[in-house]
Chain A
Amino acid sequence: MTSKTAKAADLILWDQPDEFTKFSRPSMNVFDQWESFVRLDDVHCASCANTVRSALSVLNGVDSVDVNVGSRQARVVWRNQQTKPSVWLSALENVGFPARPLGQVQSIAGEKSASKAALWRAGIALLCMMQVMMYAWAEYVADPADLPADQIQLLRWAQLIISLPVLFFCCQPFFKGALRDLRDFRIGMDVPVAIGMLVSFAVSATGTLLPTGVFGSEVYFDSFTMFVSFLLIGRWLEQNLRANTTEAMISALDRLPENALKLLPDGSTVRIRTADLKLGDLICVGPGDMIQADGTIVQGRTTVDEALLTGESYPIPKEAGATVIAGSANLSGMIAVQIERLGLETRLGQIEQLVREVANSKPRLAQMADQVAKPFLVIVILLAITAAGWWWSESPAKALMAAVAVLVVTCPCALSLSVPMAGLATAGTLIKQGVLIRNFDSLERLAKVDTFLFDKTGTLTEDDYVLAQVVTFRINQFEAYAWAAQLAKNSLHPLSRAIVSAAELRLASSQLNGVFAPPVLEFVEWEEIAGRGIRAVYLDADAQPIELKLGSQKFCRGNELKGLGEVDSASIRAENSPRVKVFLADVTGVIATFSFDEKIRPDAKQTVNRLDQLDLQVRIVSGDLIANVQHLAAALGVKDSIAECHPEAKLSVIRHLQNEGRRVAMVGDGVNDSPVLAQADVSISFSNAAPIARASADLVLTGQRLAPIVQAVIQSRRMIRIMIQNLTWAFVYNLVCVPLAFIGLLPAWAAGLGMAFSSILVVANSWRLTRI
């Protein structure tokens, strides 16, 4: 088998669902569509990315391709019926960009080996450069008559031989890249540089071998090796910084232990691989170990540290019945955990998916920069040719070296690389502080936001309510609890959950005393209407449909206080406290009210203050009653608030603000908010919010605090500033240096130094974003 068919046979292995699910996940919207993540080691500029994209988009069954140059990763969206991984993986091979499926461990190992190769090349180039300089020095300092001709030749030969490793090993990436680009008729970043390298070596070689030839007798081996060294140092630093940001991002989440202690039915334990765990297994986690999966504690009590996910490092006590998450550290006691979610399904896994998605998306500024980079490179080559033509009459060697200087000094990498780097660095920093972003556009929009809208329930207040009081009319307390709990059982709303848990407590004790047996209602209809309540119908003993409603006062209004005595209505109206109230009603009217106390998040006031200081207008928009909302607004120091807002009303508030030219960020939580979140310029939600809201939000808070929002705003503004700084530098630098090179004032080594310095500067500037 030739190596090609061997490779093809390898790739076919990825077509098995068991295999491709290791680096792919099914798409959320479309049936049979998959998203795969692969690593492309050889992509390092915009035109490489273009080559990859065009190679794959022509394939039948590939829906889209996203390539991120900064992280060297690609996301391929494809249909299982129409194509297979082996098809597009071999297409990538054929076009010169072999791809490696991105499993969890591979991404980090890949970065490390690329970093190693870059170091090797830079090191050898430096060594050779120093040696060449040593030999060249003699000719520099000698008077014309000092050195006999044969010694000059000897020294030049020495330079040539030492430059050979540089040409053949160190320059390889540039030549490979250039060849690839030219094969596809593209001018990539490597083409000018590769031409420069070849030309300068050729001129120097002919100067040594044919001193009387047309190219004169000057040699430039020292310039050649020097600029190659500088370029390679620049590349190595870039590589390291890139590895650091993506590694920080992914490995922060990638530290699950390889093995776990499985608890067998007979009480003994066996050590198995974490990968072999199944749902429902019991695992034993001792103090000091990391928990391998999401699950519930069935035995034991302990404290855990969930800092990996929430950014808050304090011990959280957990007892039997409490849930724990994969990636948290077990601190004090031994526990047995029943596994509920594994691998990609765990919160850790979900967050990691989001992180991968981010690593593959591209800031809009970067796309703009790519567009400029393409014609820019063509112009550079034309300028180089012009420079050569300009100086040819004076001295062909000088002409060629001027051309080399032009080719080498330009730094399109500042355009194509710096912006994605800045984005990645920001995303990585934000993740450590507890904010996940979906894509970079949302960060760019966040930087321009001037208004912040907060939902109340579950956002400014914590998810939990405590049932404070139950007032009933015409039924007794137990019936109220029982019916309300049955209605609320399937709802995720925080109030429903509070009712259910309070009811469980209350009814459990009554059941033990034999006082009351809660009826089990079988609902023939059950619906939850966002923002209003739950409506259900059950059949009573005579098979008559009985409708029950549990919800806001307006919702139950249809069943308004009909038939209630004066006393009862008065007592309802008197209950005008700022508590949240939920009403239980049947056809005769309201039969019970439940009053709740809600908890305000501890850092809500501080967050509002800091947003204020950042010149952001803060408002509360809530579906709750005016009294409650005003109470909260006063407590937090928010001047504007809108209450009793249905989701449609919230939508129109946002639209109205946007029509005024404002940029709106919405912080929300819960089923109510998802269309509203989509309308806002930037949407933020908590990660344990109802699943729909989480899926639409641009930014997801992994912890329980609001403060990271402020950080996100600050960082996004910094990111834009730094991206603009980088682009400005790129333009100014090229504008100044290219004419200098054209005129011949820039020797080749200075050109190399300039290019390396420029790309290092830009990358280091982006690195500032990793510091808070």
Chain B
Amino acid sequence: MDILFLLIPLSVVIALFIVAGFWWAVDRNQFVNLDEEGQRIVDED
């Protein structure tokens, strides 16, 4: 089970990346108007 000593720290790093990714998405207002995004396709402009 020595592989755990690689896997666990690796998973911690990946988790931190995911956290950063989520922060990036929220910062760019991607979660603000969830309904409007679907509508955008149908809009005239």
A residues near B, CB below 8 A?
A: 112, 116, 119-120, 123-124, 127-128, 131, 135, 151, 154-155, 158, 161-162, 165
- Is A161 in contact with B4, judged by CB distance below 8 angstroms? no
Is A158 touching B8 in the complex (CB atoms < 8 A)? Answer: yes
Q: At the interface, is chain A mostly helix, strand, loop or mixed?
A: helix
Known: A119-B31, A128-B15. A154 touches B26 (CB 8 A): no
User: Are B12 and A120 in contact (CB-based, < 8 A)?
Assistant: no
Residue of A nearest to B14 (CB): A131
The answer to whether A151 and B19 touch across the interface, beta carbons within 8 angstroms, is no
- The answer to whether B19 and A124 have CB atoms under 8 Å apart is yes
What would 11 A/B residue contacts be, using CB atoms closer than 8 Å? A119-B31, A120-B26, A124-B19, A131-B15, A151-B1, A151-B4, A154-B8, A158-B8, A158-B9, A158-B12, A165-B19
Structural contact, B23 and A161, CB atoms closer than 8 A: no
Q: Decide: A120 near B23, CB < 8 A? Known: A112-B32, A131-B15.
A: yes
Q: Separation in Å of the A153 CB from the closest CB of chain B?
A: 11
Indicate with 1 or 0, residue by residue over B20-35, a CB within 8 angstroms of chain A CB atoms.
0011001101011000
Among A120, A127, A151, the residue within 8 A (CB) of B27 is A120
Known contacts A135-B8, A154-B4; is-contact A124 B15 (Cβ 8 Å):
no
Output the nearest chain A residue to B5 by Cβ-Cβ distance: A154
Number of chain B residues close to chain A: CB under 8 A? 18
B-side residues, CB < 8 A to A, are: 1, 4-5, 8-9, 11-12, 15-16, 18-19, 22-23, 26-27, 29, 31-32
| Chain A min CB distance to B29 (Å) | 7
The list of the 6 closest CB pairs from A to B, nearest first, reads A120-B26, A131-B15, A158-B12, A158-B8, A161-B12, A124-B19
Cβ A162 vs Cβ B12 within 8 A: yes
Nearest Cβ in chain B — how far from A61, in angstroms?
40
Contact assessment for A162 and B15 in the assembled complex, using a CB-CB cutoff below 8 Å: yes
Among B19, B23, B32, the one with the most A-chain Cβ atoms within 10 Å of its Cβ is B19
Can you add 9 more A-B contacts, CB < 8 Å, to A158-B12, A162-B12?
A116-B26, A120-B22, A120-B27, A123-B26, A127-B15, A128-B15, A131-B12, A155-B8, A158-B9
What is the CB-to-nearest-CB distance from A109 to chain B, in angstroms, rounded to a whole number? 11
Select from chain B the residue with minimum beta-carbon distance to A164. B16
- A165 to B17, alpha carbons, bound, how many Å? 12
Pick the residue among B19, B26, B27 that contacts A128 (CB under 8 A): B19
Chain B residue at minimum C-beta to C-beta distance from A154: B8
Task: List B contacts of A123 (CB < 8 A).
Answer: 22, 26
Q: Whole-angstrom distance between the alpha carbons of A151 and B2 in the complex?
A: 9
Q: Shortest distance in angstroms between A771's beta carbon and chain B's nearest beta carbon?
A: 19
Residues of A within 8 Å of B18, CB to CB, are 127
Chain A, Cβ-Cβ closest to B27:
A120
CA A135 to CA B15, docked complex, whole Å: 12
A268 to chain B, nearest CB (A): 28
Bound Cα distance A127, B12 (Å): 12
CB <8 Å contact, A116 and B29: yes
Give the distance to chain B from A168, nearest Cβ to Cβ, in Å.
Answer: 12
Once the chains are docked, how many angstroms separate the CA of A135 from the CA of B19? 17
Tell me, in angstroms, the Cα distance from A128 to B11 when the chains sit together.
Answer: 12
